[in-house]
Structure 1
Amino acid sequence: MNQALTIIVPVYNEEENLARVRQEMERYMAVATVKTGVLFVNDGSQDQSIDLIREICSQNPAFQYINFDKNYGLSAAIKAGFDHVETEFVGYIDSDLQTTPMDFDLLLSHIGTYDLVTGVRSNRKDSFVKNMSSTIANGIRRSFTHDGMDDTGCPLKVIKTEYAKRIPMFKGLHRFLPAMILLQNGKIKQVPIQHFERIAGTANFGVWNRLLGPLMDCFAYLWMKKKYINYKVADKG
């Protein structure tokens, strides 16, 4: 069976989490409903993350990696993953493992009908301030995009690769992936998933970049939406 799903794992200074990422990914791949591989994207980490990633990949061919020459940000890491993936489906999960790869099968069960399936973090285990800032940011995005999604920032998604590769990425666009699928006349769905406390490492996003960043990105999205080119080929010869 050919590999059908590649899971992108962006990494920035997550050396304390990578052993657990490998363990949880291998546990999922052993029971996954489709053949699955993992693509680490090291976003210029300044700790020992890349050394650990290289070790993991050398020991298991289901793991591969891309290593940036410096830190470019989460959107660039996801974009690089989309550019390099060759499987039918592409997934995305954060390396802090506040979501579990075991829930990918929940999303995959809907991907035949939909072009993007995203998780909704139920019973979130974050602080009150983080939950409130995320709720406000999601409300801002939803008012601009009208995508109907309750948790666009959820770090657990599955997308049909043909749609993912057509997304014109810019900084901050990782927050707008469902909206970008709608611009392609694709279909999207949200599914409740599990959420866990971060048990190692440090979060890379604070309150202000959860609020001000999304607001600024909304205006960039509106400009891009106005200029977006979308077409379908009827036939060719």
Structure 2
Amino acid sequence: MEYRLTIVVPVYNEEDNLLRVEAEFLKYFKTAVAKSKVLFVNDGSKDNSQHIIEEICSRNSDFEFISFVENRGLSAAIKAGFDNTDTELVGYIDSDLQTAPEDFNILIKEIGTYDLVTGVRADRKDSFVKNMSSKIANGIRRSFTHDGMDDTGCPLKIIKTDYAQRIPMFKGLHRFLPAMILLQNGKVKQVPVRHFPRIAGEAKFGLWNRLLGPLMDCFAYLWMKKKYINYNIGKSSRG
């Protein structure tokens, strides 16, 4: 049975979470609606993450990895995962497991007529400051993009691979994935998913990343929207 879904898992200094990632995905594979595999993207980790990733991949044929020479950031890791996907669908989840691999089954049931399905974190298990800063950032972004999404920062998404590989990613654009699908005249949908507290490792984003950074990225998105090239071929002599 061929794989239908590749799930990209960006990793940056997550040595304390990776064995949990392996265990949770092995559970998910047993109930997966579509045959799935994991693609770790090691974003230049300085801890023992790479060694653990290689051990996981050596004992599980459903796990693969690519590793950056140096840290390039979350958007670059996601872009590299998309570019190295060879299945019909590509998913994305963070390695901190604040969302559950099993919830890919919820998303994949909705993907049929849509080109991106993203989770919305129900009953978020984060601090008050983190929740409020994310809520404000989502409101600012939504006013710029008009994408109708309540929680683009949710690290649980499924995208049709041909759409994902056409996204012109730049630093910070991982927050704008639904908007970038809409630029391609694609269809997007959001569905509620579970959310859990981080139990190991350290968060990589602070107040700056959630508020001021995304505000600057909104202006970059507006520039890209104005310059974005989109076309449809009506006729062709090619077979």
Report the TM range for the smaller structure's normalisation.
over 0.9
Q: Cα offset for 1:234?
A: 2.2
| Cα distance between partner residues in 2 of 1:233 and 1:202 | 48
Match of 1:200 in 2: 200
Matched, 1:87 2:60: no
Match of 1:155 in 2: 155
Amino acid of the residue matched to residue 189 of structure 1?
A: K
Alignment of 1:17-36 (within 5 A): 17-36=17-36
Match of 1:37 in 2: 37
Match of 1:68 in 2: 68
Matched, 1:78 2:68: no
How many correspondences in the alignment? Answer: 237
Amino acid of the residue matched to residue 120 of structure 1?
A: V
Match of 2:172 in 1: 172
Q: How many percent identity over aligned positions?
A: 73
| Cα distance between partner residues in 2 of 1:20 and 1:2 | 25
Match of 1:57 in 2: 57
Task: Provide the secondary structure at the position in 2 that maps to 1:57.
Answer: helix
| Cα distance between partner residues in 1 of 2:110 and 2:182 | 16
Q: Cα offset for 1:145?
A: 0.1
Greater mean alpha carbon deviation, residues 10-19 or residues 204-213: 204-213
Amino acid of the residue matched to residue 185 of structure 2?
A: N
Task: Provide the secondary structure at the position in 2 that maps to 1:202.
Answer: coil
Matched, 1:181 2:169: no
| Cα distance between partner residues in 2 of 1:58 and 1:233 | 44
Give TM-score scaled by structure 1 length. 0.99
Match of 1:100 in 2: 100
Give TM-score scaled by structure 2 length. 0.98
Task: Provide the secondary structure at the position in 2 that maps to 1:40.
Answer: strand
Root mean square deviation, CA, Å: 0.5
| Cα distance between partner residues in 2 of 1:187 and 1:33 | 21
Amino acid of the residue matched to residue 45 of structure 1?
A: S
Q: Cα offset for 1:231?
A: 1.1
| Cα distance between partner residues in 2 of 1:236 and 1:60 | 45
Match of 1:141 in 2: 141
Task: Provide the secondary structure at the position in 2 that maps to 1:30.
Answer: helix
Q: Cα offset for 1:236?
A: 1.9
| Cα distance between partner residues in 1 of 2:236 and 2:3 | 30
Task: Provide the secondary structure at the position in 1 that maps to 2:80.
Answer: helix
> Unaligned regions of 5+ residues in structure 2, if any?
none
Q: Cα offset for 1:80?
A: 0.1
| Cα distance between partner residues in 2 of 1:72 and 1:234 | 39
Residues 121-176 of structure 1 deviation map (CA, whole Å, 9 limit, x = unaligned)? 00000000000000000001000000000001100000000000000000000000
Matched, 1:119 2:119: yes
Amino acid of the residue matched to residue 18 of structure 2?
A: L
Residues 9-31 of structure 1 deviation map (CA, whole Å, 9 limit, x = unaligned)? 00000000000000001110111
| Cα distance between partner residues in 2 of 1:234 and 1:70 | 43
Q: Cα offset for 1:93?
A: 0.1
Q: Cα offset for 1:235?
A: 3.0
| Cα distance between partner residues in 2 of 1:37 and 1:231 | 33
Q: Cα offset for 1:61?
A: 1.3
> Unaligned regions of 5+ residues in structure 1, if any?
none
